[in-house]
A and B are shown apart, each in its own frame.
Chain A
Amino acid sequence: MADTMVFNKKKLRPQEVTGRVLLNLAVILIVIIWTIPTFGLLVSSFRTPQAINTTGWWTAVFQPFTQGFWTLDNYISVITEDQMGTAFMNSLLVTIPATVIPITIAAFAAYALAWMRFLGRRLVFILVVGLMVVPLQTSLLPLFRLYNDTGLAGTYLGIWLAHTGFGLPLATYLLYGYISQIPRDLIEAAEVDGTTPMSKFIFLVLPVSVPAIASFAIFQFLWVWNDLLVALIFLGTRVDVAVVTTRLSELVGSRGQAWYVLTSGAFLTMIMPLAVFFGLQRYFVRGMMAGSVKG
């Protein structure tokens, strides 16, 4: 690394040096513009309500010791008084099964589509591909009425299944793409031992498919965590069941000027996605790319 830099320095003409500097400055400027919105929110969430309302967050950045007025109270009050803590737990309760269930169902289906012969295989496959981009808007109303009739409205089971339905075509398609590429020899080698399709699926196919499963899991997890529309309709805004997104949007409505609540509340909703982003960045990018076509 150091060697190449010295080498580069020797070869660069003054004109090229200026170009390099300008290029780096341009990228720095873009990065700053892209980061400032989130950064301002983060800084504000740690300042006292009084400070947020009297001076801009940038004054706290430039004079952190005199103009900062740092505190954690915003978080404490938004978690307890504004029920964001409950919402956080509800979000986990919704998101974990709403990720595991579609992946499981999709993996079974993908295996059958890729490696089993049965009547209707082609039809199911075309359905999966066709339904991938169907907007979930067209499903909402009949499902909402169905949920009200069956008592599924406002239940965890109801929203797990709803997210399962909306995520399933994409999950099946992605996992099919991966599972169908497993070498035939590997699948057939297991057959000789007289294993059932089920054990072959669990002990051979699933372990081999971990990368594809992980990418989709991250995508689905974030999709469900960040979803507002499905939660709003099928789970509702009642405080004991509301998830972080519905809770935050309620707070925007009821406490739209209370920035100490909104900034800390918004950041709480973002903690989980950001943790996934920084912790599993490679899978994160892959998952977001794979999932971008979701309907």
Chain B
Amino acid sequence: MSDAAVQKNRGIQILLSVLSAIVLIVVFAWSFNFMRAAAAPRLVIALVALVVGVGGIWALFLTADRLVGQLPGRARDILRPYVFITPAFLILLVYIIYPTIRTIYISFFDFTRGGSPQNFGLQNYIRAFTDPALLIALRNNLLWLIFVPLFSVSIGLVIAVLVDRIKWEKYAKSLIFLPMAISFVGASVIWRFIYYRAPFGAQIGLLNAIAVAMGNDPVGWLRLEPWNNFFLIIIMVWLQTGFAMVILSSAVKGVPSSLLEAARIDGAGEFRIFFQVIIPFVSGAILTVTTTIVILVLKVFDVVFVMTSGRFNTEVVANMMFNQMFIQGTYGRGAALAVIIFIAVTPVMIHNIRKLNEA
């Protein structure tokens, strides 16, 4: 090929890359408006949405790479990695870093819907630890934080040890793990049905049917303070025990059989083996599971939102935050609650980064 032809070819290449970038932008803009206008049949909108959502992201990367590919040697090599990393970086910036900083900023101001931030100070935090309603939420969160991990991990560990010795282990574990697939909303409906108290006629909720069969009056479980908190906690335990069981089960399988044999020869009963051999051996896994469940429970929202909306003194911090931010529009107070949740997870965050630096 002659130099001129190569030049011409390159020209066309560059033109094509730039053109495809422009086309991509136009298509994005058009489809965005199309999806919002919603005049077309729903199925068409749905298809456009899927094609744009799934295909668009790939088109974006390929076009950007092509554009960079047209640059002269050195600039191209330096810029290429940024084609790969920039979208991720921008997303982290816009969706996590900026909003988190902004939330921390807002939390120091009186700021309500329609107004602007004013009166810089700690008032929202002071309120969080003095307001009676918020104190109840903090107390309830503490109950959740203690009892969900405690029950999930203990029951999960007992199940892990038990199923290790039966022939249908796989099936038993599947059925106990199954609730992990169910949404918190779905689980809440399941348990509302169990706790249901019929105003008249037969009790169709399992728990009240049992209560009546045993000669008691039906109970409004979700209004029974302070025990109603535990009835909500049970839902989370039901959901999370399977998670604890799976991790602890693989840890339990790692206990060397020689260790168990030795303990048995020494005359240790099964209970002593459980507490003095198995538990110390799997303590690392117990810590991991506990931390994970604690982080999850800190953010518990859906269950309370659906079951009681925080009434009957079952409020938790995350639900209260949602109410203040999006229902009452007291942004500053809501932000302070979000920051409290954030501070609670920072030890784990620091630990993760430290571990990274050691590696």
**Stretch in A69-77, A140-148, A185-193, A208-216 touching the partner:** A140-148
Residue pair B183, A228 in contact (C-beta under 8 Å): yes
- A27 and B162: CB pair below 8 A? yes
Total count of chain A residues near the partner, CB < 8 A: 113
Identify which of B52, B183, B247 gathers the most chain A CB atoms within 10 Å of its CB.
B183
CB of B349 within 8 A of CB of A133, answer yes
Is A259 a contact of B204 with CB atoms below 8 Å? yes
Contact B202 A56 (CB under 8 A): yes
The interface stretch among B14-22, B127-135, B184-192, B224-232 is B184-192
Query: Which residues of chain A are within 8 angstroms of B69 by Cβ–Cβ distance?
Result: 196, 198
Does the CB pair B202–A157 fall under 8 Å?
A: no
A105 to B192, CA, bound (A): 40
Known: A34-B176, A55-B204, A289-B246. A41 touches B181 (CB 8 A): no
| B4: interface (CB < 8 Å) | no
A79 contacts partner chain B, Cβ-Cβ < 8 Å? no
The answer on a CB contact under 8 Å between B85 and A41 is no
Collect the chain A residues with CB atoms within 8 Å of residue B96's CB: 131, 134, 139, 165-166, 169
Chain B: minimal CB distance from A88 (Å): 12
Q: Which listed residue (B46, B83, B181, B193) contacts A270, Cβ 8 A? A: B181
The residue in A137, A155, A197, A245 that gathers the most chain B C-beta atoms within 10 A of its C-beta is A137
New contact pairs (17) apart from A108-B88, A292-B296, CB-CB < 8 Å:
A31-B175, A35-B175, A104-B58, A116-B80, A124-B85, A130-B353, A137-B299, A156-B49, A197-B81, A198-B61, A228-B183, A245-B185, A249-B185, A249-B305, A269-B186, A274-B182, A289-B243
B residues bordering A, Cβ < 8 Å? 32, 35-36, 38, 42, 46, 49-50, 52-54, 57-58, 61-62, 65, 69, 78, 80-85, 87-89, 91-92, 94-100, 102-104, 106, 159, 162-163, 165-166, 172, 174-186, 188-194, 196, 198, 201-204, 206, 209, 238, 241-243, 246-247, 292, 295-296, 298-299, 301-302, 305-306, 318, 321-322, 325-326, 331, 334-335, 338-339, 341-342, 345, 348-349, 352-353, 356
